[in-house]
Structure formats: structure tokens, C-alpha cells
Structure 1
Amino acid sequence: MTLLALGINHKTAPVSLRERIAFSPDALGDALHSMLAQPLVQGGVVLSTCNRTELYLSVDERENQREQVVDWLCQFHHLHPDELKNSLYWHQDNAAVNHLMRVASGLDSLVLGEPQILGQVKKAFAESQRGHSLSSELERLFQRSFSVAKRVRTETDIGASAVSVAFAACALARQIFESLVGVTVLLVGAGETIELVARHLREHQVKRMVIANRTRERAQALATEVGAEVITLGELDDYLAQADIVISSTASTLPIIGKGMMERTLKARRNQPMLMVDIAVPRDIEPEVGKLPNVYLYSVDDLHAIIQHNMAQRQAAAVQAESIVQQESADFMAWMRAQSAVETIREYRSQADAIRAEMTAKALTAIQQGNDVEAVLDALTSRLTNRLIHAPTTALQQAARDGDLNRLHILRDSLGLD
């Protein structure tokens, strides 16, 4: 059995490719089912966020395992493997364990140390649990990764400053408008990222917030918390013209805001400028919107410069966190290696029990036939001893004939010989 981690992220692929390989929540169940149907896959977890799509798998070790997994991924998303080859990373066993622990701890995030990724990893893990898609090794690995992430948060200052994609979006708005006290902000979506954005905006005393979501019920609790209005996505066309800032993050597979809608909006606003920040993958706002006059459109990738500025203070903590991850991943691999011996130990004990049962049956038969009990017991112990020591004795003789002193010492040690 082999552990694998493969995928693309913000460092290896642009948003245009990431959105094509993202797994929507509606498709995730089918994806897990399809993935488990592959002959070599024993268990799997799919992690899909705006910045990464990754597969964590336990597979039967085969020569062409990489090709099979990549072929499945491409077929599911209707991609040609050549479209992924320059963006895809691949980790195996210790490297896969190390990668997941780094991801869960926020060490591989666009924003170093951001805490949201741990919740996303836990959600991906829970989806696999519900779909019975986990092997025992993967379950143990994810649980251990959650503990590692908690340890990193507790023992380092990796999360000392509030830096996230949501924070960066708000920082961008503050750079452009200086003060947010007099602006109207339209938030599209009501997920975790929009929740964080809304809370940041409330701290900066935004004049007015409007939350647009597919259903009012999902957005109402957040709206009550931050003092916002709630509308449905169907009402976007009526409210866009009132917004100075639009920040969008939904799970829609198609753009929600198109060029035609924005042309009508700008006409109604008499071409007053608008800031639009699209932090969804796939994108919520058509890229062509950014070409319209008086529209300043930023995607997830555009936030990178802002985020880089806020990363400096976390670098020292990251060094300490990396050390923790290295130690924990080595400990986990030691556990994995120990598990590989469990089956061998079970087989050895089963073999010994079978020999004992065979010898006992023969001895009982001999006693029932009237043979001397003492002689039968003596023969039983002698034959049992010979059968049990036959394989180790043969191995010791072969090691001696080969002059393999290292193997000889290992065999002596395993037999309890000084």
C-alpha cells in the first residue's frame, strides 16, 4: 500500500486552470464514488478550494499508478493530460504525509498560516467519511494532521496576525477607497470566505452592506450578525448599481455577473467607478467585465501582492512550524512501517498455532490408541520444537554460508540470542 498526494495549487497553476479542475460540492459525491471504482484505489479524499485541488489516496503499489490516477482526474474533468503536466505535483509516502500536514497547518497556503484551510481539510475528510471512501491509513493520517495543525497553532506565532484572502480583499478595498465609512458593499455568496469578509468590513464601519445569496435563509444569520441586508441572486441586477464595491465568492460553476449586466449597471451609475473582487474558483465574474471603463476587477491571483506584504512577520514562525511538521511526519511514517509488520506477525503466529494444533492432534490420537503418555509428550515437545525452529535455523545457516554478518546479527537479535 502506498500513500499519494497530487494536485495543483496557486503556485503551480493560474486561476483559469484551477477553475477547470475544481470539484463543485454537487459533484464531490460522484467524484469520490468514481475514484474508488478505480482498481488500484483503496481510499481517497478530495480537497478542492479556490486555491487548490488535491487528491489524497491510498493505492495498491503498481508501476503505472501515476498514469492511472492522472488519467482518471483528466477524464473526470474532460481535460487532456498535457494540459496538467506542467502544473501537477506528485508526492508519495513520506512526501505525501509531509505535504498534507503542511497544508493543514497553513504552510502551503496563499496566505502563510491562514486558518481557513484547516476547516476545509476537515470538511473534505468528513465528506470521505460519509461516503465510506477512507482506508484506515488515510483516516489515521488525516486525524494526525489535524493534531499537527493544532500543535503548530499552539506552539508558534504562525497565526498571530489576521491575514487571509478575505483580509486581503478588504485591504485592497481600503487602499482604493481609503475609508469605507461612506461606501456600499455588495457581497455575493454567504460561505466561509464571505463571512470573514463581512466581519472585516463591519470592523471598518462600512456604510451599507448587502448580501446576495441563492437562498435568503442561508445568508440571514450572517446578515443579522453584521447588520447587512439580504437579497437573492435573482435581484442582483437591481442592486448592482447601488454598490461601490462588489466582493464575490460562491460555488457556482458558471459566472453570475456578466458583461451585459455590468454595462447596464455602469449606465445606471453614470459611470461612477466600481471595485470588483472575484475570489471564487470557478470565477463568478466574467473576465471581460474588467475591460469595461470605470470597473476595477481583481481575481484571487491579483491579491497575491497584498498577501505577500503581510507574510513577512510569519516567516520566523514558519521555520519553527516546518520543524514540527518534519518531526510529526517522520513519526507517522514510523507508525506506517510498524503497521507493515503487523500482517507478518499475524501470519507467523497463525503458522505457529497451526503447527501446535497439528502436533497436539497427533499426540491426542496416540494417547487414545493406548501409547505411553510420557513417551507421547516427549515426542510432541521434540517434534514441536523441531518444526518451530526449522525456518530460523535454515535462515541462520544460509546467512552464515553467505558470510552475511549483518543478517546473522539481525536473526540472532530477533531470536533473543545475546
Structure 2
Amino acid sequence: MIVGEVEVAGQVREAFKQAQRRGESTSRIENLFQRALATSKKVKTTTDLGAAGRSIAQVALQLVEQRHWPLAGKRALVLGTGAYARVVVSALHSMECQDIDVFSASGRANRFSESHGTVPIHREGFTEALANADLVIACSGSGTHLLDAQLLTQARPAHAMLPILDLALSSDVAGDVHPLPTVDVIDLEVIGKNAPSERADAIAAARSIVQEAVVEFEADIASRSVDPVVASMRAHVGLLINEETDRVRRRSGESVASEVAHSLHRVTNALLHTPSIKARELARNGNEADYRQAIQLLFGIDFNDKQDV
């Protein structure tokens, strides 16, 4: 694929939102995706990859212009109404493509066209739209071939060259289309080979940012692994405070017991603050087991190793 492609972060963000809406996210997944999106933003704003603002759609359309003709004033037929179709249509508009037809095998062309300035094509008009197109962009990813050799030879005059951009991961174009002499199929492999190479320093900078984020995320996860240990230690001390407070209450009354409890909690918080901070630092450095053993020896706590990950 293309290094620095701008659609990827948007797709990740949308997948994250869907998981949240369905209740399929966890606190660790939330943390992971939030950091990933923040890292993507940092790469975009601090490296030349972000400045380029490139996408597969843009590179593919530029490749069509290089190999065939300017798209200004031409007619395009877009297959699909998903996220990639939106990006493609936006790019076509920016390149002054005059007429943009949209076909949806699932019947969503009308709704899509209402908000994207395109012409919806229904199944009965598909062959005619194919015959009139100067360019076809296939990005439905429906899992079935919307274009095959028989359809194209019937719809298109033998002398008319037709560039076809096949942008779907699950190809919309049958294999028998590629050998046709009047068709130029430009798929993801061709686009990747012809995409301009990014500057080595920009890629290195982006990878460095990502690597730093990965290391920080892993360290944070490691530090959180001792949270149950710290919680057990505080609960153990809290139980001792409650027992002592109950003895004072029986001997001296509620007022004195409340003052003693307040004082003991203050002292406890002060005493356990540093061990709690050190716990995460040791875990980040891979010394969680030593910390567990030390706390177990000092407080006699039998830790339960089962943790909610």
C-alpha cells in the first residue's frame, strides 16, 4: 500500500466508534485506539508524510492522467457507495471531472448521490452508463465481480479505451477483463508500484514516532499490571485500620474513634504513596515479580495472580 495514506486513520477511527456503539470495547482497547489515533495525528503534523496528504484514490487518478488523458471534463462511473467511494468522488470533483455516475449493487446510489453531487445509476441503466464512461472506478468490495469480459465487450465499442481503477481489496473486476486490449486495469498492485516514493527521512521519522508510542504503551500496560498488588496492599492496611478503630470505639466512643481513623488514614496514605509509585516504576522495568515478593514478605499478603486483562 502507500506509505502515509490518509484514509487509514479515518477507517481505524470509524472501526473504534462502531466497537464503542456496540459495547464491544474494553478499557485496554480504548487506551490502545486512543493512543494509536493520537500517534497518527502526531505523524501527520510533524512529518512530511502528513504534509503530502496522499491517498490511494488520488495516486490512482493521477496515474490515469499520466497513462491516458486529463480527467477534467470527462465522465466517470463509480461502483460502490462506501468510504472509498466518498474519497474517490471528492477527488474526481477536485480534478474537475464533469459527470460522475454512481452504481450500487445494494441499491444505495440514490441516497449517496443526494449528498455527493453525483448521478445515481440503477441496474437497468448500468450497461449504458458503462458504455458512456471515460473511466470506471470499482471500489464496492461487494465480494462479487461487477465487471467481466462479456459485459465490457457487449457494452463498449471495440475501439474505445477504458481505464478501470480496481481499488477494492475484494476485487470488483473479474480476471478475464485484464487481457482485453481496450481495457487498462489499474489495481492496487499497479498503484503501489507506480506511487511516488516517500522521502527516506520522512518514513524514518514516522517510524520513530510510532516505535516510541509502542514502547510507551507497552510500558504503561506493564505498570498497570501491579495495580492489583497495590490495591491488595492498601486493602490489607485498611483492614488493620478498621480493626484498630473498632477497638478504640469500644473503649473510648465514636468521637475518639473517628479522630483516630482520620489520623491513621492520613498516615497510611503518606506511607503507601511512595511504594505505590515505585510499584509502577518497577513494573515498567520488568521487576513486578520482585515487588510482589517484597510486599508479600512485608505484609504477609497472599496475592491472587488472576488479573483482569
TM-score bracket relative to the smaller structure: 0.7 to 0.9
1:290 equivalent among 160, 164, 178: 178
User: Aligned with 1:152: secondary structure?
Assistant: helix
1:219 equivalent among 107, 113, 119: 113
Tell me if the contact between 1:169 and 1:197 (Cα under 8 Å) persists in the aligned partners. Answer: no
Q: Which residue of 2 aligns with 1:200?
A: 91
2: distance between equivalents of 1:257 and 1:158?
34
* 1:126, distance to aligned residue in structure 2 (A): 0.9
Q: Which residue of 2 aligns with 1:16?
A: none
Paired residue total:
261
Tell me if the contact between 1:181 and 1:204 (Cα under 8 Å) persists in the aligned partners. Answer: yes
* 1:179, distance to aligned residue in structure 2 (A): 2.6
1: distance between equivalents of 2:138 and 2:100?
13
2: distance between equivalents of 1:211 and 1:298?
19
Q: Which residue of 1 aligns with 2:198?
A: 312
Q: Which residue of 2 aligns with 1:151?
A: 42
User: Aligned with 1:276: secondary structure?
Assistant: strand
* 1:162, distance to aligned residue in structure 2 (A): 4.0
1: distance between equivalents of 2:51 and 2:122?
36
Q: Percent identity?
A: 24
- Which one is further off, 297-306 or 136-145? 297-306
2: distance between equivalents of 1:234 and 1:336?
56
**2:218 matches 1:327:** no
Q: Residue type matched to 1:328 in 2?
A: A
Tell me if the contact between 1:185 and 1:210 (Cα under 8 Å) persists in the aligned partners. Answer: yes
Q: Unaligned stretches of 5+ in structure 1?
A: 1-109, 369-376, 382-406
Tell me if the contact between 2:76 and 2:134 (Cα under 8 Å) persists in the aligned partners. Answer: yes
Q: Which residue of 2 aligns with 1:255?
A: 145
Tell me if the contact between 1:185 and 1:208 (Cα under 8 Å) persists in the aligned partners. Answer: yes
Q: Which residue of 1 aligns with 2:17?
A: 126
* 1:347, distance to aligned residue in structure 2 (A): 0.8
CA shift in 2, pair 1:197/1:351, >3 Å = same
Q: Which residue of 2 aligns with 1:61?
A: none
2: distance between equivalents of 1:119 and 1:363?
61
1: distance between equivalents of 2:78 and 2:226?
54
Give a deviation string over 1:357-414, Cα, whole Å, max 9, x none. 344445656x49xxxxxxxx9xxx9xxxxxxxxxxxxxxxxxxxxxxxxx79x969xx
Q: Which residue of 2 aligns with 1:87?
A: none
Q: Which residue of 2 aligns with 1:171?
A: 62
Q: Residue type matched to 1:193 in 2?
A: Y
Q: Residue type matched to 2:232 in 1?
A: E
TM-score (norm 2): 0.74
Q: Residue type matched to 1:209 in 2?
A: I
Q: Unaligned stretches of 5+ in structure 2?
A: 253-259, 265-289, 299-309
Give a deviation string over 1:240-262, Cα, whole Å, max 9, x none. 11112111111412222233322
Equivalence map 1:236-247=2 (5 Å): 236-247=126-137
User: Aligned with 1:312: secondary structure?
Assistant: coil
Tell me if the contact between 2:4 and 2:53 (Cα under 8 Å) persists in the aligned partners. Answer: no
* 1:207, distance to aligned residue in structure 2 (A): 4.4
Equivalence map 1:13-24=2 (5 Å): none
Q: Which residue of 1 aligns with 2:30?
A: 139
Give a deviation string over 1:131-160, Cα, whole Å, max 9, x none. 211121110111121111112222222122
- Which one is further off, 177-186 or 282-291? 177-186
Tell me if the contact between 1:148 and 1:325 (Cα under 8 Å) persists in the aligned partners. Answer: yes
CA RMSD of aligned residues (A): 3.2
1: distance between equivalents of 2:194 and 2:114?
30
Tell me if the contact between 1:157 and 1:317 (Cα under 8 Å) persists in the aligned partners. Answer: yes
**2:166 matches 1:281:** no
* 1:273, distance to aligned residue in structure 2 (A): 1.9
2: distance between equivalents of 1:142 and 1:331?
14
Tell me if the contact between 2:43 and 2:50 (Cα under 8 Å) persists in the aligned partners. Answer: no
Q: Residue type matched to 2:112 in 1?
A: R
